Amino acid sequence: MIPDLWYKNAVIYSFSLDAYLDANGDGTGDLRGAMRRLDYLQGLGVTAVWIAPFQPSPHRDHGYDVADYYGVDSRYGSPGDFVEFVNACHQRGMRVIMDLVVNHCSDQHPWFQAALETPDSPYRDYFIWADEKPEDAEEGVVFPGVQESTWTYSPKAKAWYFHRFYNFQPDLNIANPEVQAEILKIVAFWLQLGVSGFRVDAVPFLIARDGINVCDPSPAYDLLRDIRAMAQWRKGDAVLLAEANIPPEEALNYFGATGDRLHMVFNFPVNQAQFYALASGKTALLKDALRASLPLPETAQWANFLRNHDELDLGRLTEEQRSCVFEQFGPEPEMQLYGRGIRRRLAPMLEGDRARLELAYSLMLTLPGTPVLRYGDEIGMGENLDLNERDAVRTPMQWSSGKNGGFSANDETVRPPIETGPFGFHETNVASQRSEPDSLLNWTERAIRLRKELPEIGRGRCTVLETPESILAVGYEWEGEASVFIHNVAEECVHFELDCLQQKSDKRELVCLQTNVRCEADQSGNYRFEIEPYGYRWFRFGGLDELVHAPGSQH
């Protein structure tokens, strides 16, 4: 067990190297560019960076088609540059989390190329084959409307190979002990180079014992325990963060009943319920999702996010709920993807409304778990819907109003930066917001700083309190500290009473950490609140020893 459970009060920041900063002027971001922005991230309050795949790849799927698990793609730099980047992060008190993409690889990987040569190849059983195309080949596709089948015929191998994702990403045969051994070697290799953990890609597919039965795979949870044991044997504080869009009742299978499998799982059900709350002005679904997420084993933790590098997945909402979110945040067909998601950034979804943006970020920062912030969200970046599929939300970081938003001096960039409109780099960039005291960037920095002063959010016992329809209130207790966080998702002001004393505290006075206003309970033990449209309040019983750095409300 990790003694200090550092990940429980971490602030994770995710970015892809190719879109962050180009140091050598070739139009693609790189490790040296990212190193130049580590002081910026440290100032923002980031404690861990999660970087997208950077290993050698044909880049047909943004690097998730890995062609060499033990290398660094030359467009980003050298292995030496990577080690220097990791060390530079450590010098600033930040850890590095990298993607572990081992449920599939690129069809250009030497393993797959060797498997094509002959059925007798030792790598043939690294993949899943069939002599005839299975009858259910059209079922279980991950990208409806783009992907047609989960099986592709190889004339060279004279057989069909299985792939849950694109046909250039053959699935690895996880049931093969040799493949499992390779996965453990990959984990050990990168831990030796200094990373502190892995965001494990597509975990539900990784642990499918029978890769052919796409509708009802038999999970192989023991592999998660083996990876955990290897990781913590090699590096005591290593963390595994799972991408797994699973219902909360399945979470214990991923964490392990005693917390001996994965450390963290992205809370997709809460994320989808949160967007439904923002779209509908109703919090009942979000309250249910939060209650279903509690409690967890001592070492387990949810990761909370608003947007990530993929589409906003709404697949677990009902058709009526999904339609409500589509109508509010992605009404046009080009804004939607795969029939289940929205390929937009948060700021344009909320029409740049500062009150609603603060509300959304405040929610993410105060929900039970660890916050994960996507690059550019701290300044309210937008999307480019002219780009294909998920690339719409993967545009270059906007550092200034200069050429290409300060991302690159090259005339051509890895993806076009956003130039026009309110979310273009001339209007939305780090340089201009850094100099504005009330900018979203500076608000986010203050909010993160305060969040780090409230360890009970990441470590404490959470209670979802009874509130009116448009109000979410959660309370936390940990080591004698107690706090309450209130959010109003409606466009109307709400007056209500709240019984906060179920939070065990010997202090009856609530102190608002934004305003320093103090609230006393009435004779019945209730507190009276008036929360403005899209308002939020962070309270602590007795306040902080020093009330500084609070994220000031703009409304």
Q: Locate the domains of the chain by residue range.
A: 6-100+183-190+267-451, 110-162, 459-541
d(CA 91, CA 134): 53
* Residue 504: band (very low, low, confident or very high) from pLDDT cuts 50, 70, 90: low
In this predicted structure, the answer to whether residue 548 has a pLDDT above a threshold of 50 is no
In this predicted structure, the answer to whether residue 122 has a pLDDT above a threshold of 60 is yes
Q: Is the pTM above the cut of 0.75?
A: yes
SS3 477: strand
In this predicted structure, the answer to whether residue 476 has a pLDDT above a threshold of 70 is yes
Closest to 391 (Cα-Cα) out of 491, 310, 508, 472:
310
First to last CA, the chain: 43
The CATH code of domain 459-541 reads 2.60.40.1180
In this predicted structure, the answer to whether residue 410 has a pLDDT above a threshold of 60 is yes
Question: Which amino acid is it at 483?
Answer: S
**What's the CATH class of domain 110-162?**
alpha beta
d(CA 97, CA 90): 12
Q: What is the chain's mean pLDDT, rounded?
A: 93
Reported as half-sphere exposure (CB side, CA atoms, 13 A), residue 138 has a value of 3
Distance of alpha carbon 47 from the chain centroid: 15
H or E segment and range at residue 250: none
Could you tell me which residues come within 8 angstroms of residue 252 by beta carbon, excluding any fewer than 6 positions away?
296, 297
SS3 192: helix
Closest to 300 (Cα-Cα) out of 352, 367, 365, 251:
251
Structure tokens at 444: 């986010």
Q: Which CATH number fits domain 6-100+183-190+267-451: 3.20.20.80, 3.40.640.10, 3.40.605.10, 3.30.70.1050?
A: 3.20.20.80
pLDDT digits (tens, 9 = 90+) for 124-169: 999 999 999 988 888 888 888 888 899 999 999 999 999 999 999 9
Across the range 439-463, mean pLDDT stands at: 96
Looking at residue 526, its pLDDT comes to 87
The sign one gets for the Cα dihedral 313, 317, 318, 321 is negative
d(CA 420, CA 171): 40
196 within 8 A of 97, measured Cβ to Cβ: yes
Catalytic residue numbers, as ranges: 201, 243
pLDDT digits (tens, 9 = 90+) for 252-273: 899 998 899 999 999 999 999 9
Beta bridge partners of 516: none
Looking at residue 216, its pLDDT comes to 61
Across the range 467-485, mean pLDDT stands at: 95
In this predicted structure, the answer to whether residue 326 has a pLDDT above a threshold of 60 is yes
Across the range 432-438, mean pLDDT stands at: 96
pLDDT digits (tens, 9 = 90+) for 82-119: 999 999 999 999 999 999 999 999 999 999 999 999 99
